[in-house]
A and B are shown apart, each in its own frame.
Chain A
Amino acid sequence: MTPTGRTYAAMAYLAAVVFAAAIGFDLLGMPVQVYDSVDEILDAQASPSPAAMFRAALVEDRAHLRPLRSAQTKLLFDAAGGRYRLAYRGFHAALLLIGLVLFTRALRVSTAADLASAVFALTVLIGLHTFRGTVQEAFPINHFLEVVVCCLIALNLAQSRGGPWIDAAAVLAFIAASLTLESGLLVWVVALAAWVAGFRGISGRAVAAMTVLLGAYVGLSFAYLDVQGSGFAGQSSGFLLSEIDAAEQRARFGNPPLLFYAYNSAASLMSVLFSEPQDGVFVGVRAWLAGELPPRVWVAVGSSLLTTALVASAVARMVRGRALPGDDGRLLFVCGAVMAGNAAIGFAYAKDEIMSTGGAFYALAAYVAVRSIVARGATMRPLAGAALALIVLAAGSAWAVRSAGVHHVLRSQAFKHRNDWAMLPTLWRQAGRWPQDPAAVRLVLELRSDALAVPAPNPRFEARWAYSVWGD
């Protein structure tokens, strides 16, 4: 890379770091959440070691295969030295920084056009509603974000020159991701799609090894796990204009509700491409039918429609034989495969956070599309160039607005989490859940005291337009 190219790359990394630092600051200021988190932390306290927690998760949790998730919770607990919010939120912020840096690295920025497109793509990544699932909650670790990071690791490895260490790292990333969360299997999708597309950083042997491991994972899941009790078959989910529970799913679609599963996958993919539906519900259509269309709906749908149109245009050019330069076409192929694979994995119920990896790869596709426009801009006819410039300006503006909304959402979550901590002793005593172990009581009270000390602005004092533009 030329010195000028390195400068452009450095500026792209700087933009990524600024975005990561801004969101990381919010994360560090948030309390550890109560729900789906405190019980895990108490388990970590009671467990003698990460290895013991790994084994216990394998043996006791017959609904899922997520032993590494539990072991990580214990690892961080032990490393926290009593500063649990710093440990868990610090890890969350560090993971976010790594993710944005890996994302930027995958863009291979070396020109001014690359840099402009990279900044655009970063706002797509952060502004897409599927990204919120990687930051607004943590259990106490956000495993959706971990999967995104593992998939970006795999992509970067695929783009590299290759070698045995690269192959080993790719296989390790797959093992780590798949034992953390089911959507970690997407690492295999990244590796396979990259190899099929022509990236040779991860060798065919490594892809084959991952495929064998995938087979073992699937076999273990069917032989060992209680799929019915997994919650996959018992979750409520959005359908058209409302949510329906598991009983209604069976009543409407039979058991298993195969058509409903098909809807969930389609809705998940559409959610990334068009920001509608969200969590399986056509919230925009519902709002329009109710006679109100707040900015958060038309900004979201508009930005996604424009960007998806640009991506589709880039794909069409590739298909028509006016091929995008080598790696761009390969990257588009990988992005399409990951989005489709992510949608397939999300068949059981439509939740936006499940599509967080698909959303990240959508942002990569947006980079390719926009960069091709910027590169062609100088040679376009003036009218066509002006029209495309307007489209990109409108989309970029909308994504900038959406990306700023992450801070609004995190602030709302901080208020909610702090309230949950305030209510915890009252609610747990009523439910008979207050711990008997004095060490557990001390831990809960310590976490609560830390949470109550965190500033969390009351939403009542927010500007009214904030909810209209960014929702909650």
Chain B
Amino acid sequence: MVGRVTRRTVAWLGVAGMPLAAAGLMALALVMALVRAHPMWREPALTLAEAAALRDAGQVARLVGEGQDPNGRYPVRAGILSRRPLVLTPLEAARAAERPEIIELLVDLGATP
């Protein structure tokens, strides 16, 4: 009987162990979402120039909509466009990252080409 119980338990764990773990992780993520800390949906703060360099048209449009100057100069952290931190306008950052669609968007939002 001990052998059958052990085998049944092993079979049960083999079948459901990892799927249950997946469900558990999803439940944990939901709990973390209650305190705005969902691991998959945390958005890092970006400057307008960083957003332009990273093809983040949504952030670009939102930041300009919130009043940020599309012609201003903003920090771009190391690792985005170069190994050292830079200070660029959004247009300069978009050109450096070769993002023509972001350039187009910035001009539409008032950036001076």
Contacts and interface: CB of A to CB of B under 8 A. Distances in A.
Interface of A: 15, 18-19, 21-22, 25-26, 29, 112-113, 115-117, 119-120, 122-123, 370, 373-374, 377-378, 382, 385, 389-390, 392-393, 396-397, 399-401, 403-404, 407-408, 411, 415, 418-419, 421-423, 425-426, 449, 451-453, 455-458, 460-461
B43 A456 contact: yes
Contacts of B14: 389-390, 392-393, 396
B21 to A, nearest CB: 6
Interface in B1-50: 4, 7-8, 10-12, 14-23, 25-27, 29-30, 33, 38, 40-44, 46
B11 A389 contact: yes
**What 3 pairs across the A-B complex have the smallest Cβ distances?**
A418-B58, A22-B26, A377-B11
B16 A119 contact: yes
A430 to B, nearest CB: 9
B76 interface: no
A15 B27 CA distance: 9
Contact of B12 (A22, A26, A374, A421): A374
Contacts of B10: 377, 389
B58 A421 contact: yes
B42 A457 contact: yes
Contact of B15 (A18, A370, A382, A401): A370
A426 B108 contact: yes
A458 B44 contact: yes
B73 to A, nearest CB: 21
Contacts of B86: none
A22 B29 contact: yes
B111 interface: no
B88 interface: no
A119 B56 contact: no
Contacts of A373: 11, 15
23 contacts: A15-B20, A18-B23, A119-B15, A373-B11, A374-B12, A377-B10, A393-B15, A396-B15, A401-B22, A403-B19, A404-B22, A407-B40, A419-B57, A423-B105, A452-B62, A452-B65, A456-B58, A457-B42, A458-B43, A458-B44, A458-B46, A458-B54, A460-B80
A116 B20 CA distance: 9
Given A29-B41, A378-B7, A423-B57, A393 B23 contact: no
B26 to A, nearest CB: 4
Given A119-B16, A377-B7, A419 B22 contact: no
B30 A21 contact: yes
Contact of A120 (B15, B30, B43): B15
Contacts of B61: 421-422, 452
Given A453-B62, A458-B46, A419 B56 contact: yes
A30 B54 CA distance: 20
A19 B46 contact: no
Contact of A415 (B15, B25, B58, B108): B58
Contacts, number: 145
Nearest to B21: A400
Interface string B50-69: 00001111111110010000
Interface in B90-113: 101, 104-105, 108
Contacts of A453: 62
Contacts of B44: 457-458, 461
Range of interface residues on B (Cβ < 8 Å): 35 or more
A471 B66 CA distance: 33
A119 B23 contact: yes
A115 B46 contact: no
A153 B12 CA distance: 29
Given A18-B26, A25-B33, A423-B105, A115 B62 contact: no
Given A393-B18, A452-B65, A457-B40, 10 more contacts: A15-B23, A22-B29, A26-B40, A123-B22, A373-B15, A378-B8, A382-B7, A396-B19, A401-B22, A422-B62
Given A389-B11, A452-B65, A119 B43 contact: no
Contacts of B11: 116, 373-374, 377-378, 385, 389, 392
Contacts of A422: 57-58, 60-62, 105
* Interface-central residue, A15, A112, A421, by most chain B CB under 10 Å: A15
B96 to A, nearest CB: 15
A123 B24 CA distance: 12
B19 A400 contact: yes
Nearest to B80: A460
Contacts of A392: 11, 14-15
Chain A CB within 10 A, most for which of B59, B65, B80: B59
Contacts of B7: 377-378, 382, 385
Contact of A426 (B12, B23, B58, B105): B105
Contacts of A120: 15-16, 19
Nearest to A116: B16
B30 A455 contact: no
A458 B8 CA distance: 45
A302 B40 CA distance: 26
A119 B20 contact: yes
A454 to B, nearest CB: 8
Contacts of A18: 23, 26-27, 30
Nearest to B16: A116
